[in-house]
Structure 1
Amino acid sequence: MRTAGDVEAVARAVDRLGYHALAFTEHPAPSKAWIDNAPGHPTFDILASLAFCAAVTEQVRLMTFLVVLPYHRPFMVAKALSTIDLLSRGRVTAVVGAGYLRAEFDALGVPFDQRNELLDEALEVLPEIWRGEPVSRSGRNFEAAEIVSQPMPVQPGGPPLWIGGNGRQARERAARSGGWSPLLIGPEAATRINTAAIAGIEGLAADIKGVRDRAQVLRGDRAHVEVQVLTPQARVMFEDHRPDEHREYLSALGDAGVDWFVVRVPGADAASVIESLEYYAAELML
Structure 2
Amino acid sequence: MTETRFGYLLPTRDQAVSGEHAPHRLIEYAVRAEALGYDSVWAGDSPITRQRADPLLVLAAVAQATRRVELGTAVLLPALRHPILLAHQLGTLDRLSGGRVIAGMGAGFPTDATRAQFTALGVDFATRGRRLEESIEAMRLLWTGEAVSFKGEHFAFEDVSVAPPPARPGGPPVWLAGGGPALRRVARVADGWLPYPPEHGVYAKEAATIRETAQRPVTPALYATFCLDDDPERARERLRKSIERYYNAPLEFIASIQAMFAGTPEDAAAWLNAYVAAGARHIVVRFATGDHGAALEEFAGRVRPLVSAEVRS
Output the TM-score relative to the length of structure 2: 0.76
Code of the residue aligned with 2:226 in structure 1: it is R
Look up the match of 2:288.
Answer: 266
Measure the CA separation in 2 of the matches of 1:165 and 1:55.
31
User: Does the 8 A contact of 1:132 with 1:150 survive in 2?
Assistant: yes
Look up the match of 2:151.
Answer: 138
Look up the match of 1:253.
Answer: 275
Matches within 5 A, 1:143-182: 143-168=156-181, 170-176=182-188, 177-182=190-195
- Tell me if 1:209 matches 2:208: yes
Measure the CA separation in 1 of the matches of 2:293 and 2:60.
21
The residue matched to 2:197 in structure 1 has which SS?
coil
Worse overlay, 241-250 or 45-54: 241-250
Matches within 5 A, 1:86-235: 86-100=95-109, 101-168=114-181, 170-176=182-188, 177-185=190-198, 200-215=199-214, 219=215, 223-231=216-224, 234-235=225-226
Measure the CA separation in 2 of the matches of 1:167 and 1:285.
29
CA RMSD of aligned residues (A): 1.6
Worse overlay, 50-59 or 245-254: 245-254
Output the TM-score relative to the length of structure 1: 0.82
- Once the two structures are superposed, residues 178-220 of structure 1 have per-residue CA deviations (whole angstroms, 9 ceiling, x without a partner) of 21111113xxxxxxxxxxxxxx2112101100111001xxx3x
- Tell me if 1:21 matches 2:20: no
Measure the CA separation in 2 of the matches of 1:210 and 1:8.
37
Measure the CA separation in 2 of the matches of 1:76 and 1:67.
13
Identity %: 32
Unmatched segments (≥5 aa) in structure 2? 1-14, 16-20, 230-234, 236-261, 306-313
Match among 42, 50, 55 for residue 59 of structure 2 = 50
**Offset at 1:90?**
0.7
- Tell me if 1:243 matches 2:243: no
Unmatched segments (≥5 aa) in structure 1? 31-39, 186-199
**Offset at 1:150?**
2.1
**Offset at 1:155?**
1.4
Code of the residue aligned with 1:224 in structure 2: it is P
Greater relative contact order structure (CA < 8 Å, 6+ sep): 2
The residue matched to 1:152 in structure 2 has which SS?
coil
- Tell me if 1:59 matches 2:68: yes
Code of the residue aligned with 2:200 in structure 1: it is I
Look up the match of 2:300.
Answer: 281
**Offset at 1:267?**
3.4
Measure the CA separation in 1 of the matches of 2:164 and 2:170.
13
Code of the residue aligned with 1:265 in structure 2: it is F
Worse overlay, 154-163 or 246-255: 246-255
Look up the match of 1:35.
Answer: none
Measure the CA separation in 2 of the matches of 1:64 and 1:71.
15
**Offset at 1:236?**
3.5
Cα pair distance change 1:142/1:209, threshold 3 Å? closer
User: Does the 8 A contact of 2:78 with 2:105 survive in 1?
Assistant: yes
The residue matched to 1:262 in structure 2 has which SS?
strand
- Once the two structures are superposed, residues 23-49 of structure 1 have per-residue CA deviations (whole angstroms, 9 ceiling, x without a partner) of 11111122xxxxxxxxx5x41111111
User: Does the 8 A contact of 1:29 with 1:108 survive in 2?
Assistant: no
Match among 9, 23, 29 for residue 4 of structure 1 = 23
Code of the residue aligned with 2:74 in structure 1: it is F
**Offset at 1:91?**
0.7
**Offset at 1:142?**
3.9
Code of the residue aligned with 1:250 in structure 2: it is L
**Offset at 1:8?**
2.0
